């Protein structure tokens, strides 16, 4: 009864992801080094280093000096460095000095951003980047190598 779906496609279903509580870094904590997490991090203290996580919340008292890579970032405090995330939100108390690479960006009135914003596409098609040229005799794909030219020796008299 329960094994029918396993027999049909031959694959064992993946175990559900265990959700852990967010990691909290309080306002009296200073960390020098990189942070890595598969879950959520809330920073209210100081971090000098890069942060890689799924969800990052930068509290109002937080000061981060380093690169941020996450799926979702909400900034209420100070960040100096590049932010790269699918979704970035800057609250009115945010102060960001650095570039933001994003898919979705929201900036509240009063937030300070000194840097460039650039939209990134995460779902690129495999055919993107290649283009077809119309050549005498048909279309050729630009990614293909051109055929080698043959050299014909002139006949000796």
What residues contact 39, with CB distance under 8 A and at least 6 apart?
A: 19, 20, 21, 22, 23, 53, 54, 55
pLDDT digit of tens for each residue in the chain (157 aa)? 455 555 555 666 666 667 778 899 999 999 999 999 999 999 999 999 999 999 999 999 999 999 999 999 999 999 999 999 999 999 999 999 999 999 999 999 999 999 999 998 866 554 455 555 555 555 455 555 555 556 566 666 5
pTM comes to: 0.67
Rounded to the nearest 5°, which phi and psi values hold at 6? -70, -40
Name the CA dihedral angle for 105, 110, 29, 34, rounded to a multiple of 10 degrees: 30
């Amino acid at each position: 009864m329960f094994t029918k779906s396993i027999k049909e496609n031959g694959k064992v279903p993946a175990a559900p992801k265990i959700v852990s509580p967010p990691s909290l870094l309080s306002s009296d904590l200073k960390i020098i080094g990189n942070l890595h997490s598969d879950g959520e991090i809330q920073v209210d203290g100081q971090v000098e280093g890069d942060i890689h996580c799924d969800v990052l919340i930068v509290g109002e008292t937080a000061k981060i000096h380093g690169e941020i890579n996450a799926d979702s970032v909400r900034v209420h405090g100070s960040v100096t460095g590049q932010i790269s995330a699918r979704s970035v939100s800057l609250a009115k108390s945010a102060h960001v000095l650095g570039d933001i690479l994003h898919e979705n960006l929201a900036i509240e009135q009063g937030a300070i951003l000194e840097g460039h914003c650039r939209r990134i596409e995460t779902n690129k098609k495999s055919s993107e980047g290649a283009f077809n040229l119309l050549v005498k005799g048909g279309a050729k794909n630009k990614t293909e190598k051109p055929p080698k030219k043959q050299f014909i020796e002139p006949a000796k008299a």
